[in-house]
């Protein structure tokens, strides 16, 4: 693994809060309320983001939107290029997604391969009416025809850089930084 | 982490490796409970079930596990293959190699046959029972079932009753439960208890009344009628009277003790009808968990998928 150096802090705690508030408003507006709406967070950091969005939607609309957890390890297309074994975690979607408007939530949108795998995983759980995508950061460099419906911040990056989203639930603090390989 | 090419025996594995296998089986069980039991993980991979002995549970369990993970699976049984024409295991292995198998699941009447196969083929080899040696995937599903019900293995008292001499399940169970911190007691007629048992760390009992005292888990083994021609005990009725699990004996165990059986059961011999039916849920759950454990094995032995956090 090459060493990484922190290049820039692009969003702080307030920035993340504001971005999520805006996304929550956009989700409600586009879906004309919260009827049949469900949020599904992609492990790992999509999960706390989905929970926070559900909290904000509740503040705005007063209704609780169900939140599920998706583990896409078994849906990845890079089985042969392994160099270490991942811990397969559990998918926890304890509600029917049949006919629902599903909003997938992830921290960073990059090549699009995670989302492609997540789409397969969601469709294996049932037949939703629609699937939308919310990402806190869109850093570009797509390898598949996938686009987010809700974006916290567009961050143009070089391929040699990494975008790291840190959340208090998983990392003890809220911030987004760009890391550079040295 | 599981870093071996094959799964041949639980004796060779560390407690950490066994726990990792059980952890991986947990999300697999979630897949089995879905209406659409299918994930694309092993698309394009081939699993060969090579069975030199009859089996319903183990073979269909491995076959379903492969199918749920989208692998292609083929079944070869000795009676319907060139094995019946006298082909050696070595030559059958070379044929399987040429077919491009990624995993070979082998059941064989000779102890050590999977070890020989593992050295011969590039594919991962899973021991699905070799002679009276080991049956690691069965022990893993027993461990998984107990851990799911009790939340732990460490500190439990596990009693295995019956024909330990001929039982590969018992050997794998002894290694697995001991390594994860349980106290293992074995119990049976002296003629059915092999002499080296004490070395495995298990305590040996001849009377079930003593062995069952305070037990948390009771594993009843099948009396293998097909292996009993040498007359190692006088008769099935006497065996049932002295060693069969009935209400009185079950009452000696800890309250709510788990009763397990690897199947197929001889009702009225090693396990009373009323107990077999009252604990049937657990025995059926063992079968379901067997599929989850075997999915985990196929997944890990074909490499698992590398998950890069940065690759979004």
SS (H, E, C) B159-204: EEECCCCCCHHHHHHHHHHHHCCCEEEEECCHHHCCHHHHHHCCEE
Q: CB of B173 within 8 A of CB of B195?
A: no
Q: What angle do CA B163, B168, B169 make, to 5 degrees?
A: 85
Which chain B residues have a beta carbon less than 8 Å from that of A4?
Answer: none
- A86 and B305 within 8 Å at the Cβ level: the answer is yes
Q: CB of B77 within 8 A of CB of B51?
A: yes
The closest CB to that of B311, out of A44, A89, A110, belongs to A110
| Element spanning A165, H or E | strand A161-166
The mean pLDDT value of chain B amounts to 91
- Tell me: pLDDT of A46 over 50: yes
Rounded distance, CA B174 to CA B167, Å? 11
- Tell me: pLDDT of B279 over 90: no
- State the smallest CA–CA distance between residue A79 and chain B in angstroms: 4
Taking CA atoms, A106 is separated from A8, A50, B51, B208, B296, in Å, by 21, 8, 45, 56, 26
- B304 and A86 within 8 Å at the Cβ level: the answer is yes
Is the interface score ipTM higher than 0.85?
Answer: no
Tell whether omega for the bond before B264 is within 30 degrees of 0, i.e. cis. Answer: yes
Asked if A87 is an interface residue toward chain B (Cβ–Cβ < 8 A), one would say yes
Asked if A125 is an interface residue toward chain B (Cβ–Cβ < 8 A), one would say yes
CA B230, B236, B238, B239 dihedral sign is positive
Q: What angle do CA B249, B214, B19 make, to 5 degrees?
A: 115
Among B83-87, B177-181, B221-225, B290-294, the range scoring the smallest mean pLDDT is B83-87
Chain B CA closest to residue A135: B312
Taking CA atoms, B123 is separated from A17, B130, B298, in Å, by 51, 18, 11
- B303 and A79 within 8 Å at the Cβ level: the answer is yes
Tokens 């029972």 locate to: B129
Half-sphere exposure of A153 (CA within 13 A, CB side): 17
Rounded distance, CA B68 to CA B47, Å? 12
Asked if A157 is an interface residue toward chain B (Cβ–Cβ < 8 A), one would say no
Average pLDDT over every residue of A130-154: 97
Q: Compute how many other C-beta atoms are within 10 angstroms of the C-beta atom of residue B90.
A: 11
Look at residues B308, B307, B297, B301 and name the one whose alpha carbon lies nearest to residue B24.
B297
3-state SS, residue B237: helix
Question: What was the pLDDT predicted at B58?
Answer: 95
Question: What was the pLDDT predicted at B3?
Answer: 84
- Tell me: pLDDT of B306 over 50: no
Taking only the tens place, the pLDDT of each residue in B125-161 is: 999 999 999 999 999 999 999 999 999 999 999 999 9
Average pLDDT over every residue of B203-219: 96
State which fold the B136-282 domain adopts: Rossmann fold (3.40.50)
- State the binding site of B for carbamoyl phosphate: 57-58, 107, 135, 138, 263-264
Among A27-31, B169-173, B218-222, B279-283, the range scoring the smallest mean pLDDT is B279-283
Rounded distance, CA A78 to CA B196, Å? 46
- The neighbouring-strand residues paired with B72 are B46
Q: CB of B58 within 8 A of CB of B128?
A: yes
Average pLDDT over every residue of B261-279: 90
| Domains recognised in chain A with CATH numbers | 23-161 (3.40.50.2020)
State which fold the B15-135+288-302 domain adopts: Rossmann fold (3.40.50)
- Tell me: pLDDT of B247 over 80: yes
- The neighbouring-strand residues paired with A4 are A181
Which chain B residues have a beta carbon less than 8 Å from that of A124?
Answer: 34, 36, 38-39
Confidence bin at A86 (pLDDT 50/70/90):
low
One-character DSSP codes across B90-109: HHHHHHHHHTT-SEEEEEES
Average pLDDT over every residue of B279-306: 87
Which chain B residues have a beta carbon less than 8 Å from that of A113?
Answer: 311-312
Which chain B residues have a beta carbon less than 8 Å from that of A74?
Answer: 27, 31, 39-41, 69, 299, 305
Question: What was the pLDDT predicted at B310?
Answer: 45
Taking CA atoms, A17 is separated from A68, A155, A164, in Å, by 21, 17, 17
Rounded distance, CA A129 to CA A37, Å? 10
Asked if A76 is an interface residue toward chain B (Cβ–Cβ < 8 A), one would say yes
Asked if B310 is an interface residue toward chain A (Cβ–Cβ < 8 A), one would say yes
Question: What was the pLDDT predicted at B199?
Answer: 85
Residues constituting chain A: 182
Q: What angle do CA A65, A70, A76 make, to 5 degrees?
A: 150
Tokens 């001889």 locate to: B266
- Tell me: pLDDT of B233 over 90: no
- Tell me: pLDDT of B198 over 90: no
Rounded distance, CA B54 to CA B62, Å? 14
Confidence bin at B304 (pLDDT 50/70/90):
low
| Element spanning B126, H or E | strand B124-130
Asked if B32 is an interface residue toward chain A (Cβ–Cβ < 8 A), one would say no
- State the binding site of B: 57-58, 85, 107, 135, 138, 168, 222, 263-264
Confidence bin at A42 (pLDDT 50/70/90):
very high
The closest CB to that of A79, out of B2, B28, B305, belongs to B305
- Tell me: pLDDT of A81 over 70: no
* Residue ranges per structural domain of chain B: 15-135+288-302, 136-282
- B1 and A85 within 8 Å at the Cβ level: the answer is yes
- A109 and B302 within 8 Å at the Cβ level: the answer is no
Asked if A91 is an interface residue toward chain B (Cβ–Cβ < 8 A), one would say yes
- B306 and A78 within 8 Å at the Cβ level: the answer is yes
Average pLDDT over every residue of A104-126: 94
The closest CB to that of A73, out of B307, B310, B312, belongs to B307
- A111 and B36 within 8 Å at the Cβ level: the answer is no
Pinpoint the alpha helices (H) of B213-309.
236-243, 247-250, 273-278, 280-301
- A88 and B306 within 8 Å at the Cβ level: the answer is no
3-state SS, residue A5: strand
Taking only the tens place, the pLDDT of each residue in B71-115 is: 999 999 887 777 777 788 888 888 988 999 999 999 999 999 999
């Amino acid at each position: 693994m090459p060493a990484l150096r922190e290049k820039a802090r692009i969003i702080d705690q307030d920035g993340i809060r504001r971005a999520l508030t805006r996304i929550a408003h956009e989700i409600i507006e586009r879906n004309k309320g919260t009827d049949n709406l469900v949020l599904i967070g992609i492990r790992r950091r999509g999960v706390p983001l989905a929970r926070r969005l559900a909290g904000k939607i509740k503040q705005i609309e007063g209704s609780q939107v169900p939140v599920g957890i998706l583990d896409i390890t078994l849906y990845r297309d890079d089985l042969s290029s392994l160099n270490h074994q991942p811990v397969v975690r559990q998918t926890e979607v304890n509600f029917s997604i049949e006919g629902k408007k599903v909003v997938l939530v992830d921290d960073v949108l990059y090549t699009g391969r995670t989302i492609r795998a997540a789409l397969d995983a969601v469709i294996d759980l049932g037949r939703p009416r629609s699937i939308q995508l919310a990402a806190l950061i869109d850093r570009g460099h797509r390898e598949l025809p996938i686009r987010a419906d809700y974006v916290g911040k567009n961050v143009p990056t070089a391929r040699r850089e990494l975008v790291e989203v840190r959340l208090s639930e998983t990392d003890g603090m809220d911030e987004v930084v760009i890391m550079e390989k040295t | 982490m599981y870093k071996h090419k094959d799964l041949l025996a639980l004796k060779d594995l560390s407690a950490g490796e066994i726990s990792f296998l059980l952890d991986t089986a947990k999300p697999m069980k979630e897949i089995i409970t879905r209406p659409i039991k299918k994930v694309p993980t092993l698309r394009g991979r081939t699993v060969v079930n090579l069975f030199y002995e009859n089996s319903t549970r183990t073979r269909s369990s491995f076959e379903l596990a492969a199918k749920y993970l989208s692998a292609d699976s083929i079944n070869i049984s000795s009676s319907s293959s060139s094995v019946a024409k006298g082909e050696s295991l070595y030559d059958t292995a070379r044929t399987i190699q040429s077919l491009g198998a990624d995993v070979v699941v082998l059941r064989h009447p000779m102890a050590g046959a999977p070890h020989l196969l593992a050295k011969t083929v590039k594919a991962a080899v899973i021991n699905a029972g070799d002679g009276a040696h080991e049956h690691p995937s069965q022990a893993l599903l027993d461990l998984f079932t107990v851990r799911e019900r009790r939340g732990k293995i460490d500190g439990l008292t596990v009693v295995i009753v019956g024909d330990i001499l001929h039982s590969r399940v018992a050997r794998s169970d002894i290694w697995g439960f001991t390594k994860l911190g349980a106290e293992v007691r074995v119990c049976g007629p002296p003629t059915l208890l092999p002499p080296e048992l004490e070395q495995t760390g298990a305590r040996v009992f001849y009377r079930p009344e003593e062995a069952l005292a305070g037990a948390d888990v009771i594993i009843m083994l099948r009396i293998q009628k097909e292996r009993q021609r040498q007359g190692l005990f006088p008769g099935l009725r006497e065996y049932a009277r002295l060693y069969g699990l009935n209400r009185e004996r079950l009452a000696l165990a800890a309250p709510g003790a788990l009763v397990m059986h690897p199947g197929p059961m001889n009702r009225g011999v090693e396990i009373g009808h009323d107990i077999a039916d009252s604990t049937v849920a657990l025995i059926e759950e063992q079968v379901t968990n067997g599929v989850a454990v075997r999915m985990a094995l196929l997944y890990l032995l074909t490499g698992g998928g590398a998950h890069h956090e940065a690759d979004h």
